[in-house]
Structure 1
Amino acid sequence: MGAVSFRVTRRAASALAVVLASTLTAGNTGGPAAATSTTGPSATSGASAASATVRSTTPSTARTSLAVAAKRQSRVFRDGDGREVTLRGFNVSGSTKLYENSLLPFRSTADAARSAQAMRDLTGANVIRFLISWEGVQPSPSTIDHAYLDRAVEQIRAFTGRGIRVLVDYHQDLYSSHLFDQGSWYTGDGAPEWVVKAGGYPKESCGVCFLWGQNMQTNEAVRRAARDFWRDRRISTPEGEVGVQEAFLRQATAAMTHIRQRLPEQDFAAVIGFDPFNEPYDGGLEGESGLEWEKTYLMPFYQRFRAAMDAAGWAGKPAFVEPLVFWNTGFFEEGGFTAVGALGTRYVFNSHFYDGARMTIDPSPASDGVYGAAMNEIRDRARALATAPFVSEFGHKLSGNGSDRTPWMVRAMYQAMDSGVPGKNWWRTPAAGGDVLSSTQWHWDLYSGRHREVMNRNPAKVRTEGDAWNDEDFSVVAADASGTLATRLDRAVLDRLYPSAVAGDVLAFAYEDLARSGYGGAGQQRAWLAVPSSMPNIAALVRDRRFGVLVWREPAAAPVAPTELHLPASFTAATTVVVGDVATRAGLPASGPAAIATEAGSSTAHRLLLSPSGAAPGTVHAALVVGAATGPAVTPAQLAAAAAELAAWKEQRFPT
């Protein structure tokens, strides 16, 4: 994954900008004609055509672009229409760590298009975290591989052409695969071979390690390499002496410049920002605390990367910056940016979350509200840093010891990102749930279980199973023999009702997915979002059904676009029920105050459009959305009674 170390288991400015804007050699300042290509085959042309086929359904550039904006006491993402946006999607993908994939998520643009279409259709995802590799961009000190970047651009367009936004991520784990011996139990990804060779690192050894993330704490080669990066150690290369971090920032500037130039304006508008460094770890605190290390080394690096973004034409997009990897793992927690001051809206607080305890020593299953405190910690840190939060990795393994608990663990993570209040308490204290968290789950691998990766350049170690990397298996999808993608987790966990764009401010949101605790329809089915006995008509309406509740406040100026919620596949036009002040009805028409429309880039995924008519600024709305494909027919009397209960509840919990 990107992996947390103790995930235990797995896991200045203007002058600098001028320097960083220069490319590495005079001969490598142009486009593909000037590039040296060292990676796999060129992208196929099929997916470019596929992108074009859905371009007419893609939202406008203004509506697609995002900014971090104020919301009372917090910061959220807003689109060009001023709507509060929730981003939900997946990482694509751990395959970027693999040489069989030429260090890109997909082997061809056609594969990217096929994956993007399946993601949009199966889950309604509206964002991906797109991994690239320093080694892929800069295979030698004097080379920027523009062909590699062009393939990345085409793969990105396969997603933006289907209405999916993109966060680009410079990925690394354990610094580099080139630190590891052919016989090693583990491997890494990130830095190119020429950087590692120049470092002169000792023979790698993790010692008594059962989990790959322990290398960050015990493998001296990995630790020294990281320490050199943060201290910008000067190294000698065939092209002369250079600082390690300086070299990274130069190639990053060149890469971002090229991506900006190659992406059409509409596609670039759908790129939400850049993640400069996956899961930073210190390499040795040397007597400092994690907070001091973040302030002394990590934040200055992010400021330099921010200057590189500005120089490369990314000034209007935030840097999605991650704290020290250990900050919220449950073990040896340090960091979290509490000593760096406010980040502001040119940065996003970008956290990962994995349940370190349940990945190692805690055998208990997940349950209602179990991750509320962890997700609220992310909300609180972002609020204190005066920016928006984002959870760019979370999840759990899908095979091996403990994977029987994965469905409800992932369910509980989504529940806590929807609201920081347990379902049993939500109706009593909905406003205490905090903002809905945007996120990308780890991960979406088109090639899951069908890899052929030569690990650490050792032909005797060919990895085929799972993610083909350090024995991980996290992909939520897999392809069958015909290439058709299907979800490996219960689709009810992944294809969720969520408020994708709200005209105003979200005040509260919760969703009951009724996902089973096992795989393939097995296991328990238990509702977590319990309706209190004081609301018997709503309780009867939602019993044994999936449903969600959204409460939002009208903006100061009249909205120019509707409020939108992604509808899971089981919420059909004929069987979706809406109850609230905007509309109360069974069945959704194609127009009106509560209407159904297809998601951009899909003919099978749908969204609910809510358009209040003539509401005054500051008006609070509430909508109960129910998937009523099962159970008894919903009667007009039931609807009226449920609407009366919802209205009374709204006035009590959100008085105007």
Structure 2
Amino acid sequence: MRALVAVLAAATAVLGTAPAAMADDVRARQLTVHNGTFVDGYGREVVLRGFNVSGEVKLAENGFLPFASTADAQSSAQAMRQLTGANAVRFLVSWAGAEPTRGQLDQTYLAKLTDQMRAFLDAGIEVLPDYHQDLYSRYLFNTGSWYSGDGAPKWVVDLGHYPQENCGACVHWGQNVTQNGAVQDATSDFWHNANGVQDEFVSQATQTMQYLHDHLTADEFAGVAGMDPWNEPYAGRYDANQNSQTWEQNTLWPFFQRFRQAMDTAGWQDKPAFVEPSMFWNANISFERQTGGFLDTGAIGSRYVFNTHFYDELAQSGVLMPGKAGDGQYSTDFGTIRDRAQALGTTAIVTEFGHPLTGYTSDKTPTVDKAMYQALDSRLSGANWWSHPGQSGPVLSGTQWHWDVYSGQHHELMNDNPSKVQTIGDGWNGEDYSSVQGNQLRQDPRLLDRLYPAAVAGHTLAFTYEDRSRDGSQVLTWNSVPSSMPATSAIVGSGRYGVLVWQGSDLAAPTELHVPAGMNATVVSDVSSTRSGDQLLLAASPGLHYALVAEPSASPSDSQLAAARAELAQWAPSAATGTP
């Protein structure tokens, strides 16, 4: 996302002299929400792409921190940038780690957390801290349990005197949410502020945010995107005559407003709260999805971001979606995300998505993950993109679940039981989602290292990227250039390609696209461009603009480039008018 000084210097001959104000790059780091999109200090529309760091926070083995050391965090941040071009991470934070004793913050934990967060900020990556919880707390579960949780510290559970946990015949850890009485009771108590536990959570969160504000430099703090107050909220138990819609309005939304005030108190007043709807809004199998998503709040405005997750539970079932994902598989689901954000008067981000890398449905993973990235890029299928580009919609920001450098190498005592040492996968409830092991990718780099519009000097009208990722030996091509554009099709050939159409503005910073490593890109555009490292810089200027970024098998001739420009110039206005 950031137009670094070295990049701008390389672009000077093409784009003009870079303003002196960009020398410290702080304006490029300061994200706000404006007109339904993220914007930086130059007014450019920003897309955030990256990963969650990391499910390791759910485990006790490294003290509820993402990494065993700052050195591991630094090498991980560098690897993420080099391997995927990520410009953002959702950075997990543990209440149990921050406040192991009521009213006393663990200063050592906060110092290590800050250092590990700084590793990503120093690598030029935007950081979104996330107060993470699943099943409320690990301390609800007995040492012989099949499952575990994370989030609240032990003292919170001790106050509740909850019944012996039991999920009965559950076949997935998530069923504890609605079938484990201890989890239900404890979660409900939090939302009802029993024993003052919600008061205490907000108090420690205020202090933690104040600590981060005070211990990061101003430039570093500028790279903190905001705060995710509570991962995957759920009522635990609904009150009488309550459903997800009324619970969101009468219980969850007041909590988020309260947390918003805490952010202001801690010096985060210029950063949005990334608020999540009821957790059952995050999948494609829940009946509650129709009654969630903050339907009754009205416009929440630019101080909040609509922050949702998405998992294909039909695909994960192995039965309800017997085949693999295909072109446009999630266009409707992610279109709903766009529509809810627009109705709420803000922007959206999908801070968790993905599919298991091992297990009996992992044969679907290459297609499921490709379809999710496709739906982030555009609300259209590949088959419909070229004919109806004006319906493409905003490009969604997203952070894939997840990036765990210790994947498959854990040593976690499940629920503190030395007889149940977890080593495989994520080390937590049998999951295996990490895109890396160590600093090596476990998924196709064509899928993860993507072309995307990191910052647009103006307004994005349409975007697509055909990554040509693989499902085994099969090349997945879902978006072919139409035969009506033969010159463009000839340049694209069988290689990766992306197209951006935007309404430009005369801003003090260029449009930036991240270009995948090893992509020897040919650019066909109506504006001047330059390449520096993994950034393609396109000159900022008013008017309707287009850019095709492709990797042809052979360098195209001047006449071929001219023919492609003519085709794209004739086609591009359809993205502005919404007509084919």
TM-score by length of 2: 0.93
CA contact 2:390–2:574 (8 Å) conserved in 1: no
* Local SS of the residue matching 2:475: coil
2:436 aligned partner: 477
In structure 2, how many angstroms separate the alpha carbons of the residues matched to 1:212 and 1:610?
47
In structure 2, how many angstroms separate the alpha carbons of the residues matched to 1:58 and 1:193?
47
Deviation at 1:342, TM superposition (A): 1.3
Matches within 5 A, 1:278-293: 278-286=231-239, 287-293=241-247
Deviation at 1:331, TM superposition (A): 2.1
CA contact 2:37–2:45 (8 Å) conserved in 1: yes
2:15 aligned partner: none
User: In the alignment, is residue 442 of structure 1 matched against residue 401 of structure 2?
Assistant: yes
Matches within 5 A, 1:248-263: 248-263=201-216
1:610 aligned partner: 538
2:454 aligned partner: 500
In structure 1, how many angstroms separate the alpha carbons of the residues matched to 2:34 and 2:93?
28
* Local SS of the residue matching 1:147: helix
Which of residues 594, 608, 612 is equivalent to 2:529? 594
1:626 aligned partner: 550
Matches within 5 A, 1:89-100: 89-100=50-61
Deviation at 1:517, TM superposition (A): 1.2
Which of residues 261, 274, 277 is equivalent to 2:230? 277
1:245 aligned partner: 198
Deviation at 1:536, TM superposition (A): 1.1
Deviation at 1:652, TM superposition (A): 4.1
Deviations 1:290-340 (A, max 9, x none): 100001110010011001001111101000000000024222324111112
The one-letter amino acid of 2:149's match is: G
Deviations 1:547-587 (A, max 9, x none): 000001122xx210110000001223xxx1111211xxxxx
Which of residues 424, 443, 447 is equivalent to 2:383? 424
> How has the CA–CA distance of structure 1 residues 655 and 279 changed in structure 2, closer, same or farther, with 3 Å as cutoff?
closer
1:313 aligned partner: 267
2:353 aligned partner: 394
1:156 aligned partner: 117
> How has the CA–CA distance of structure 1 residues 545 and 59 changed in structure 2, closer, same or farther, with 3 Å as cutoff?
farther
2:252 aligned partner: 298
Deviation at 1:452, TM superposition (A): 0.3
> How has the CA–CA distance of structure 1 residues 59 and 206 changed in structure 2, closer, same or farther, with 3 Å as cutoff?
farther
In structure 2, how many angstroms separate the alpha carbons of the residues matched to 1:231 and 1:151?
32
User: In the alignment, is residue 578 of structure 1 matched against residue 523 of structure 2?
Assistant: yes
1:489 aligned partner: 443
* Structure 2 gap segments, 5+ residues each: 1-6, 10-21
CA contact 2:103–2:200 (8 Å) conserved in 1: no
Which of residues 598, 619, 635 is equivalent to 2:557? 635
Deviation at 1:223, TM superposition (A): 0.2
In structure 2, how many angstroms separate the alpha carbons of the residues matched to 1:59 and 1:111?
27
1:364 aligned partner: 323
CA contact 2:227–2:272 (8 Å) conserved in 1: yes
Deviation at 1:655, TM superposition (A): 5.3
Which of residues 158, 161, 167 is equivalent to 1:200? 161
2:13 aligned partner: none
CA contact 1:59–1:163 (8 Å) conserved in 2: no
In structure 2, how many angstroms separate the alpha carbons of the residues matched to 1:256 and 1:562?
33
In structure 2, how many angstroms separate the alpha carbons of the residues matched to 1:328 and 1:91?
16
* Local SS of the residue matching 1:184: coil
* Structure 1 gap segments, 5+ residues each: 1-53, 235-242, 480-484, 583-592, 599-605
Deviation at 1:121, TM superposition (A): 0.4
User: In the alignment, is residue 527 of structure 1 matched against residue 484 of structure 2?
Assistant: no
Aligned residues with identical type, % of pairs: 53
Deviations 1:410-442 (A, max 9, x none): 111001100010001101111211100001100
Deviation at 1:527, TM superposition (A): 1.5
In structure 1, how many angstroms separate the alpha carbons of the residues matched to 2:563 and 2:165?
68
In structure 2, how many angstroms separate the alpha carbons of the residues matched to 1:350 and 1:655?
29
In structure 2, how many angstroms separate the alpha carbons of the residues matched to 1:213 and 1:526?
32
* Local SS of the residue matching 2:560: helix
Deviation at 1:364, TM superposition (A): 1.5
* Local SS of the residue matching 1:447: coil
Residue correspondences, number = 553
Deviation at 1:59, TM superposition (A): 5.7
Matches within 5 A, 1:60-75: 60-70=25-35, 75=36
CA contact 1:58–1:161 (8 Å) conserved in 2: no
Which of residues 252, 277, 288 is equivalent to 1:333? 288
Matches within 5 A, 1:23-172: 60-70=25-35, 75-172=36-133
Deviations 1:16-60 (A, max 9, x none): xxxxxxxxxxxxxxxxxxxxxxxxxxxxxxxxxxxxxx9x99961
Which of residues 401, 412, 415 is equivalent to 2:371? 412
2:490 aligned partner: 540
CA contact 1:570–1:627 (8 Å) conserved in 2: no
The one-letter amino acid of 1:61's match is: V
In structure 1, how many angstroms separate the alpha carbons of the residues matched to 2:550 and 2:395?
19
* Local SS of the residue matching 1:369: coil
* Local SS of the residue matching 1:393: strand
* Local SS of the residue matching 2:227: strand
The one-letter amino acid of 1:104's match is: L
Deviations 1:502-542 (A, max 9, x none): 10001110000000113xxxx31132112112111111211
Deviations 1:339-368 (A, max 9, x none): 122111100000000001111132220111
The one-letter amino acid of 2:296's match is: A
CA contact 1:435–1:507 (8 Å) conserved in 2: yes
CA contact 2:388–2:574 (8 Å) conserved in 1: no
> How has the CA–CA distance of structure 1 residues 652 and 137 changed in structure 2, closer, same or farther, with 3 Å as cutoff?
closer
Deviations 1:605-652 (A, max 9, x none): x1100115xx4x4x1001111123xx2332222111111111111134
The one-letter amino acid of 1:654's match is: A
In structure 1, how many angstroms separate the alpha carbons of the residues matched to 2:190 and 2:575?
51
* Local SS of the residue matching 1:507: strand
In structure 2, how many angstroms separate the alpha carbons of the residues matched to 1:92 and 1:337?
27
Deviation at 1:409, TM superposition (A): 0.8
Deviations 1:581-605 (A, max 9, x none): 11xxxxxxxxxx210113xxxxxxx
Deviation at 1:142, TM superposition (A): 3.0
RMSD value over aligned CA atoms? 1.5
In structure 1, how many angstroms separate the alpha carbons of the residues matched to 2:573 and 2:339?
27
In structure 1, how many angstroms separate the alpha carbons of the residues matched to 2:476 and 2:414?
42
CA contact 1:331–1:356 (8 Å) conserved in 2: no
* Local SS of the residue matching 1:459: coil
CA contact 1:363–1:402 (8 Å) conserved in 2: no
* Local SS of the residue matching 1:99: coil
* Local SS of the residue matching 2:89: strand
More helix by share: 2
Which of residues 192, 208, 213 is equivalent to 2:174? 213
Deviation at 1:653, TM superposition (A): 4.1
In structure 1, how many angstroms separate the alpha carbons of the residues matched to 2:576 and 2:164?
62
The one-letter amino acid of 2:536's match is: L
CA contact 1:58–1:162 (8 Å) conserved in 2: no
* Local SS of the residue matching 1:620: strand
In structure 2, how many angstroms separate the alpha carbons of the residues matched to 1:221 and 1:526?
45
* Local SS of the residue matching 2:357: coil
In structure 1, how many angstroms separate the alpha carbons of the residues matched to 2:402 and 2:122?
21
Instruction: Decide which moves more: 129-138 or 533-542.
Output: 533-542
In structure 1, how many angstroms separate the alpha carbons of the residues matched to 2:24 and 2:307?
26
